[in-house]
Chain A
Amino acid sequence: MDRFVFLTFDGLSKGAVLAAFALALVLIWRAARIVNFAQGAMAVAAAYAGYSVTTATGSYWLGFAAALVGGLLIGMVVERAVMRFVDHSSPLSEVIVALGLVLVMQAVLGMVYGNEFLPAGTPFSRNALSVGDVPLLSRYDLFVFGAVLLVLVALAALFTRTAIGLRMRASAFAPEVSRLLGVNVGGMLTLGWALASAVGALAAMLVIPTELGLHPHAMDLVFVSAFTAAVVGGLDSPPGAVVGGLTVGLILSYVSGYLGSDVTPMAVLVLLLAVLLVRPGGLFSSTVARQA
């Protein structure tokens, strides 16, 4: 029983990060109808920017802020300089351009920073606090939960309570009508990419210290899990991304705890396959029929 409790908490803290990363995928999907396969590489690049600042200044928090700002900027540049010019008539061309971006970014990061794992620090202790004899959550886990929760609340407020959020939603659903109503649709698209990329950078900053460290490929496996989480949640649903993230986190944790860590990557793929076979729209996809 203790083991089960431990694995549950471990899974939830893993899942929170996956939720954030899945949320980044959902944000771009909603804004541009693209599954951004470059998300992992973009997030790692932002994390390297954070690493550079932390190394130079000795401050984790300055590096953390730099990674988020770096994420924003990378998202803007990728949309303005690359994605805007991709032929949107076929989703395949977008996927291939995104994969090309991954190769280029990972190669450049490898050349600049080297292909070794760099140590990534945490601002809080990762030693789990025990309740009774069971180690539950570390201070760092609480920080992860808090950060993800804050981002969720902030995004929900942005989209439902502000004029800019209304513009972003309208642009995503009906770009032409939005332009006729005076909305700068191109600007909203750039903003969508920037926000998503910043959320991805946050996820990278949170997850990299809990894995082997900073590396150009550090987010590759995380991307697969987060993509699964986003699909489980239905790709266009932010709450779905969160539930999907936590679900995948728990499954990963139980599988690695009870069956061994060798099988965890397979478990993710089995889950992805199962969802795609049974409910390809995802568990939380909106089934609203468009007929306007």
Chain B
Amino acid sequence: MTADDVILQVKGLTAGYGAAPVLQDVDLTVRAGTIAAVLGANGAGKTTLLRTLSGLVRPSDGEIVYGGQPLRDVPVEQLVRRGMAHVPEGRGVVAELTVDENLRLGGLWRRDREDAAKALTEVYELFEPLAQRRRSAGHQLSGGERQMLALGRALVARPKLLLLDEPSLGLAPRVIAQIMALLRQLRDSTGLTVLLVEQNVRSALSVADEAVVMSLGRIVTATSADRLRDDEELRHAYLGF
């Protein structure tokens, strides 16, 4: 692994909401163009990890290096300009805005208006159902459509690194499979890097290259997804199945 390969490097990250830290001394390395799954039970700190990476939670200690640059004191709203997109848990569709407005919002910061419009068209081609519901308000969409919208909105920014929090939550298996297939396709065609937080271990491991298991705010193992999938003992020890 060479230094240019690494898009995200986290060292000794400690963060939380009050006195007790949720994340403790987390080290993480993500290579560009891979899908890394962050697995673990409820309350393991997966969501907090993503929120700290995108600056919504300020770390009390440790370092985040993204694309070779330390991220300390970079405002949240600047990160998308550097190619980091975060699709939060619960999908973050703005319920009061239409599908089209939600999607346009994802590209408003871009100077290159022409390419922003092109990206929008591409997202509509990628997600057929969204194209048919451009004028519908966010709250009128089904769960699957909302996930498409949140994902599509992140893609309008043409990110290099996508932080994806529980995309499978509350969705039918068929829809989950579609989303996972799409992630794999994006990785292969655009070199997108994905940090995928999931409770649905099987789905996540079906697309991931690397896997990280968290427990009680710490990373307990980091290995290749294949190994975690195939090694029964390891799976048993960390994931309980």
Contacts and interface: CB of A to CB of B under 8 A. Distances in A.
- Tell me whether A and B are bound partners: yes
Interface of A: 163, 166-167, 169-170, 173-174, 176-185, 288-292
A163 B117 CA distance: 13
B86 A170 contact: no
Interface stretch (B17-25, B59-67, B104-112): B104-112
Given A290-B95, A292-B93, A176 B139 contact: no
8 contacts: A167-B108, A169-B97, A179-B76, A180-B76, A180-B77, A182-B81, A288-B137, A292-B90
B133 to A, nearest CB: 15
B94 interface: yes
Interface in B156-178: 157
Contacts of A181: 80, 105-106, 108-109, 153, 157
Interface of B: 54, 56, 76-81, 85-86, 88, 90-97, 101, 104-106, 108-109, 137-139, 146, 153, 157
A185 B77 contact: yes
A176 B56 contact: yes
B94 A170 contact: yes
Nearest to B153: A181
Contact of A180 (B86, B95, B138): B86
Among A182, A289, A290, A291, max chain B CB count under 10 A is at A182
A166 B108 contact: yes
A184 B108 CA distance: 11
Contact of B108 (A176, A179, A183): A183
A30 to B, nearest CB: 10
A177 B157 contact: no
B95 A178 contact: no
Contacts of A185: 77
Contacts of A180: 54, 56, 76-77, 79-80, 85-86, 88, 92
A174 B80 CA distance: 17
Contact of A292 (B101, B106, B138): B138
A52 to B, nearest CB: 38
A183 to B, nearest CB: 6
A182 B95 CA distance: 18
A291 B95 CA distance: 7
Given A182-B108, A182-B157, 5 more contacts: A173-B95, A173-B97, A179-B77, A180-B77, A185-B77
Contacts of B78: 182
Contacts of B90: 292
A102 B237 CA distance: 64
Contact of A170 (B54, B91, B97): B97
A174 B146 CA distance: 15
